[in-house]
Amino acid sequence: MKEIMVIGGGAAGLMAAIQAAEQGAKVTILEKMKRVGKKMLITGKGRCNITNSADIPTLIKNMTGNGQFLYSAINNYSNTDVVEFFNGFGLPTKVERGGRIFPESDKAADVVGTMVRALHRLNVEIITEQAVEKINVENKKVTGVTSMSGVFYNADAVILATGGASYPGTGSTGDGYAIAEQLGHSIVPIKPSLVPLEVEEDWIKDVQGLSLRNICASVYADGAKVGEDFGEMLFTHFGISGPIILSLSKIVAEYLTKNKAVELSINLKPALTLEVLDKRIQRDFEKFSRKQIKNSLNELLPAKLIDVVIDLAYIDPDKSINQIKKEERTRLIEVITGLKLTITKTRPVEEAIVTAGGIHVKEINPKTMESKLIKDLYFAGEVIDIDGYTGGFNLQAAFSTGYIAGQYAAWND
């Protein structure tokens, strides 16, 4: 019976272990934390967005970091397969806006629990609080794994699935990069992929906690538009976060590293043309003609933003509506459709949902996830240089690569 060691008990590692065991291998998971699946428990705001209902080309398109590398893996283990796996083990799922697929219970713990039950059923041994120092290799072939405590585990194959460098409290501290580098693998420098952004403007502190829906955010680098997204965002004490900000953060990070001046422009009313918005404001002004402008925009803007927008439009907040000039109304429209924020930096990689960078994909066989440098060494999940947008795409990549790695690790002689 083939002995396989899986390093890391996250989404990719758990799926790899399940698949290898299903092929008849004797599988052991080494996890340095007290329990497996810790990062999965916080994904999707604790609900665990396991995949997305999009077709395969769209899944790959949404994996912005080396999506084409995943073509074989996702075709072999698709979103339909992921859903069937969880449904088959008694966990019903549901599809929400944007194709996001969640457990019906809305509990990430149920996703992890389902995978752990599958592991127990397949007699997979899970050893927790056991960090790995190195993968042992002789004649460019894996022989086993040595733990930080000096324990040697014999192995016919090893699957490295240690995750990225984000959320270190969950165990993802970048250990896998060093282990792979020791064996001669190239590591693409890591940076945050899905991460909140810090801004220069002080007024941000006055609106922290405010969430905006159905807005359009555009990214400009040295004045040239380089990205855009539509949806929800959130103001924080340091800057901005939320789904569309996270999706845009990778491109922001790229231009910041090039020392470009990066600015975000928020259109608070993207569904309205400038002409329609102007008419809408004029109707409100007629309705509240005797009021001050600071008390006249409640039907148009969130309360927390009113003072900010008026200030940025250089209008006296105590001015009566019937005294507002056309040029002031034009400035108001300009701010509402182009609320500017100066991006100073991303939050640290430790706060990123996903890490970009990792083991170079050119050194991994995309059909098997086996190292091209070391025989019987396989990789799965975020430790590889792959990353994508929010919406279940990153977990799909973890499950697909884990499935393929587990399968081929058990098959190959």
Tens-place pLDDT, residues 338-366: 999 999 999 988 888 888 899 999 999 99
pLDDT tier at 171, thresholds 50, 70, 90: low
CA 145 and chain centroid, separation: 30
pLDDT on residue 352: 83
- Mean pLDDT (whole number) for 43-53: 93
CB 334 within 8 A of CB 321: no
Residue, of 307 and 349, whose pLDDT is higher: 307
Structural domains of the chain in order of their starting residue, each with its CATH number: 3-192+349-411 (3.50.50.60), 196-347 (1.10.8.50)
pLDDT at 368 over 90: yes
pLDDT tier at 74, thresholds 50, 70, 90: very high
Q: Which two tokens stand for residue 249?
A: 């953060």
pLDDT on residue 170: 64
pLDDT tier at 89, thresholds 50, 70, 90: very high
CA distances from residue 1 to 151, 153, 408 in whole angstroms, order as listed? 22, 15, 15
Q: What is the pTM of this model?
A: 0.87
pLDDT on residue 167: 63
Annotate 325-392 with DSSP letters as a single string: -HHHHHHHHHHHH-EEEEEEEEPPGGG-SEEEEEE-GGGB-TTT-BBSSSBTEEE-GGGBS-B--TTT
CB 219 within 8 A of CB 251: yes
CB 233 within 8 A of CB 196: no
